[in-house]
Amino acid sequence: MYADAARWGNLPPTFPRALHKTLDFLEGAGIRGTFFVLGWLARRYPGEVKQIAASGHEIACHGRDHQLVFLQSPEEFNDEVRDAKGAIEDLTGLAVRGFRAPRWSMPRESWPYEVLRGLGFGYSSSTLRIPGLGGGIPGPQKIAGVWEIPALSSGRGPFAWPAGGTVALRVAPMGRLLAARNRAVGRRCPAVYWFHPWELLPDAPRVSGGALFRWARYAALDRLPVRLRVLVPPGDRTLEAALASLDDLPENGDTKR
């Protein structure tokens, strides 16, 4: 959701239908996943967010209204995330342990993790190791007492690419996607995949933009469910479950990335 938050209420309400499609897909695939939910969404669609929890999935926090972290002060970030976390917890009655920064906007500093720790978060999955997004980190790392679990990427430096989501997940050769997953798992790094519910709803209203934007956003949407079934085995694939497997890894304390 990249439009101005003030306009969201006037946009076509595709979320309920897209969510139902996503929940049906996950149930059919036998996958329990993590949903990163905006505080705005919890207030706008309380019944749908409750349904996510009732379906057995983990609900984590995506901020209140998609504000980029590096544009906020620590105080602003604290207030925004506290409000979003509270809205989700009040609605579902469940503790929220995970956070994802909108558009991978976590700065290369430790203060956001200090804020998250103070608000009771146990992990973040807010970095993606590709050019233009701050470089990310190669694997799980504990920063200021909070685990950062990066999303799946492949390659290094200027040749890194997002192997766990976006158009790459839909159009890259399956052999390269499998190799990226297997390398991550071999290094004891969770292979973190991600998608938006609208990506399972090819007939949803489309955002206007140039040819490259439209290709990157909408190309090969029909391939996504097929590829996810191949790449993600059935079972508990929540980040909460992945967090439990990190307990015996070394901590990096307050080290900056």
Q: Which of these, 85, 195, 187, lies nearest to 141 by C-alpha position?
A: 187
Residues 6+ apart with CB under 8 A from 26: 32, 33, 55, 57
Three-state SS letters, the chain: CCCCHHHHHHCCCCHHHHHHHHHHHHHHHCEECEEEECHHHHHHCHHHHHHHHHCCCEEEECCCCCCCHHHCCHHHHHHHHHHHHHHHHHHHCCCCCEECCHHHCCCCCCHHHHHHHHCCCCEECCCCCCCCCCCCCCCCEEECCEEECCCCCECCHHHCECCCCHHHHHHCCHHHHHHHHHHHHHCCCCCCCCCCHHHHCCCCCCCCCCHHHHHHHHCCHHHHHHHHHHHCCCEECCHHHHHHCCCCCCCCCCCCC
Could you identify the residue written with the tokens 């807010």?
Answer: 126
pLDDT tens track, the chain, 257 positions: 444 555 555 555 789 999 999 999 999 999 999 999 999 999 999 999 999 999 999 999 999 999 999 999 999 999 999 999 999 999 999 999 999 999 999 998 999 999 999 999 999 999 999 988 766 888 999 999 999 999 999 998 889 999 999 999 999 999 999 999 999 999 989 999 999 999 999 888 888 899 999 999 999 999 999 999 999 999 999 999 999 988 766 555 443 44
Return d(Cα 136, Cα 149) in angstroms, integer: 10
Please state the separation of Cα 53 from the chain's center in Å: 17
Q: Is this structure's pTM higher than 0.75?
A: yes
Rounded CA-CA distance 152/227 in Å is 15
Q: Which residues contact 133 (CB under 8 A, 6 or more apart)?
A: 104, 127
Would you state the pLDDT for residue 208? 85
Only one residue has tokens 């906007």, namely 105
Q: What is the pLDDT of residues 128-180, one digit of tens each?
A: 999 887 668 889 999 999 999 999 999 988 899 999 999 999 999 999 999 99
Tokens read off for 218: 């909408």
Domains and CATH numbers, the chain: 5-243 (3.20.20.370)
Question: Residue 147 in contact with residue 141, Cβ under 8 Å?
Answer: yes
